[in-house]
Structure 1
Amino acid sequence: MDPANTLLNVVDVEATCWEGQPPAGALSEIIEIGLTVVDLAARERISKHRILVRPRRSRVSEFCTELTGLTQAEVDTGVEYAEACRILTAEHRADSRPWASWGDYDRKQFERQCKATGTRYPFGSRHANVKLRFTEARGLKRRPGMAEALAIAGLPLEGRHHSGADDAWNIAALVLGLVETGHWPEA
């Protein structure tokens, strides 16, 4: 394995959400970016990060708080979306380091929000859909949610489900399981 390509950013976002339809004028916006750096060669999670993001066109609903644990007051202390993307690039080399997420939701949410805000997309093109890779490696008929995948893999769910930082940490554990079994392409 090329030492320059041994680090992988595992990303999980939480976004504003509602039990039903969003209120008039509101749309789903990223409010938390969780990121775990994995050293694929050493086969370990080496750091865990959390970036809170202030939404501009929506507010954190009661439903969203119940799901994520995040409150409007908490995300109000966060950074603007463009600053969060700058941090991803400057501090986590998101534009040059390969990255992974559970499914395609996170990648698509970044693409939508970058387009809507005129923000430079922070990631490079090397994205891995861990949900798809896990499903194929296990020969499953349907793609499980992250918590179900942890149970299938015999791994604990660490922290709070639907916390971006904790979910990224847990997804990274699933990536390492795929590395161990030879089902990760860069392994």
Structure 2
Amino acid sequence: MEPALLNVVDVEATCWDGQPPPGQVSEIIEIGLTVVDLSSLRRVGRHRVLVRPQRSTVSAFCTELTGLTQSEVATGLSFADACRLLAAEHRAGRRPWASWGDYDRLQFTRQCGATGTAYPFGRHHTNAKAAFTEAHGLRKRPGMARALELAGLPLEGRHHSGADDAWNIAALVLALARTGNWPPPQPH
């Protein structure tokens, strides 16, 4: 049987305690990607792409939150190269993808538009937070850490690490898939 692969994506972006400094904008600095095989119900790949910001720097607040430093992300790929890598190595344009909420999808849309970079993903995106909320009959959409608690799953690694968060979101996706609550991909 052909594997039904899904890319689970989580990004971290430059951030500040309050408003960004004048002239700076929030930019993706890490892309975490976990490949899920929905036919075998397993996580089959774990990837981390560091992205070098062009219009902002990593604040002390951002380092405290994500663990990422300016010197670390300075070694990353340009945003355009990171998008090309997603398309070439992870079949981002053809494979359905998911993220926890719409922040990641919207951040890619904004940053691609602002930089003239081709959007790397296809139209089939699933908001895993909405799927989880619906499957569990919740009134409020929980954050990822709370959803893991509700699902009885451990938080593996560091919260607000793109690679670790994508891994944990993938565990939530698989929990939904095992109970028949993972929706088929819908175009956006």
CA–CA distance in structure 2, aligned partners of residues 91 and 22 of structure 1: 33
Shift of 1:173: 0.1
CA–CA distance in structure 1, aligned partners of residues 128 and 166 of structure 2: 11
Shift of 1:111: 0.2
Does 2:108 correspond to 1:121?
no
Aligned to 1:47: 45
Aligned to 1:64: 62
1:21-64, CA deviations, whole angstroms, 9 ceiling, x for partnerless residues? 00000000000000000000000000100000000010000000
Does 2:23 correspond to 1:3?
no
Shift of 1:178: 0.3
CA–CA distance in structure 2, aligned partners of residues 124 and 67 of structure 1: 30
Shift of 1:186: 3.7
Q: Gaps spanning 5+ residues in structure 1: where? A: none
Shift of 1:120: 0.2
Does 2:178 correspond to 1:180?
yes
Shift of 1:65: 0.2
CA–CA distance in structure 2, aligned partners of residues 159 and 102 of structure 1: 17
State the superposition RMSD in angstroms. 1.1
| TM-score relative to the length of structure 1 | 0.97
Aligned to 2:166: 168
Identity %, equivalent residues: 72
| TM-score relative to the length of structure 2 | 0.97
CA contact (8 A) 2:12 2:30 kept: yes
- Paired positions, count: 185
Aligned to 2:25: 27
1:101-151, CA deviations, whole angstroms, 9 ceiling, x for partnerless residues? 000000000000000000000000000000000000000010000000000
Q: Gaps spanning 5+ residues in structure 2: where? A: none
SS in structure 1 opposite 2:44? strand
Aligned to 1:101: 99
Paired amino acid for 1:37:
V
Runs of 4+ in structure 1 over 4 Å off: none
